[in-house]
Amino acid sequence: MSRFLRRPEAGAILSLLAVLALFTLGGADLGNLLGAASWVNFAANLGIVAIPVGLLMIAGEMDISIGAMIPAGSMAVAVISGHYGLSIWLGMAGALGIGVALGLVNGILTVRTSVPSLIITLGTLVAMQGLILTGAKVLTGTASVELQSPDWARQVFGQLIGGSHQVIILWWIGLAAVFWFLLHQSRFGNWIYAMGGDKVSARNAGIPVQGLTIGLFVLSATSASFVGMCQAILFNSAQVSGGMGYIFNAIVAVVVGGVLLTGGFGSVLGIVFGTLTFAVVAQGIYFTQIDRNWSNLINGAMLLVAVAMNEAFRKRAMAPLRRK
Domain regions of the chain by residue span = 2-316
Is residue 172 predicted with pLDDT exceeding 70? yes
Is residue 263 predicted with pLDDT exceeding 90? no
Q: What is the CATH number of domain 2-316?
A: 1.10.3470
Q: What is the mean pLDDT of residues 294-318?
A: 70
Q: What is the mean pLDDT of residues 3-21?
A: 75
Is residue 126 predicted with pLDDT exceeding 70? yes
Q: What is the pLDDT of residue 321?
A: 45
Look up residue 119 and give its DSSP letter. Answer: H
Q: pTM score, two decimals?
A: 0.90
Q: What is the pLDDT of residue 322?
A: 45
pLDDT in tens, 140-166: 988 889 999 999 999 999 888 877 889
- Across 2-11, 26-35, 81-90, the highest mean pLDDT is recorded for 81-90
Helix (H), strand (E), coil (C) string for the chain:
CHHHHCCCCHHHHHHHHHHHHHHHHCCCCHHHHHHCCHHHHHHHHHHHHHHHHHHHHHCCCCCCCHHHHHHHHHHHHHHHHHHCCCCHHHHHHHHHHHHHHHHHHHHHHHHHCCCCHHHHHHHHHHHHHHHHHHHHHHHHCCCEEECCCCHHHHHHHHCEECCCEECHHHHHHHHHHHHHHHHHCCHHHHHHHHHHHCHHHHHHCCCCHHHHHHHHHHHHHHHHHHHHHHHHHHHCEEECCCCCHHHHHHHHHHHHCCCCCCCCCCCHHHHHHHHHHHHHHHHHHHHCCCCHHHHHHHHHHHHHHHHHHHHHHHHHHHCCCCCC
Q: For residue 143, give the 3-state DSSP assignment.
A: coil
Q: What is the mean pLDDT of residues 233-255?
A: 89
Which is more confident, 29 or 205? 205
Q: How far apart are the first and last CA of the chain?
A: 15
How far does Cα 178 stand from its chain's mean position? 15
Q: What is the mean pLDDT of residues 3-27?
A: 75
Task: Give the containing element (helix H, strand E) for 137.
Answer: helix 117-140
Q: What is the mean pLDDT of residues 24-33?
A: 72
Q: Which of 11-25, 48-62, 208-222, 271-285 is predicted with the least confidence, judged by mean pLDDT?
A: 11-25
Is residue 138 predicted with pLDDT exceeding 70? yes
Q: What is the pLDDT of residue 324?
A: 40
Q: ∠ at Cα 244 (55, 108), nearest 5°?
A: 45
Residue 126, beta-bridge partner list: none
Q: What is the pLDDT of residue 319?
A: 62
| Percent of the chain clearing pLDDT 70 (strictly above) | 90
Q: How confident is residue 211, by pLDDT bands cut at 50, 70 and 90?
A: very high
Q: What is the mean pLDDT of the chain?
A: 87
- For residue 177, what are the CA distances in angstroms to 2, 173, 186? 26, 6, 13
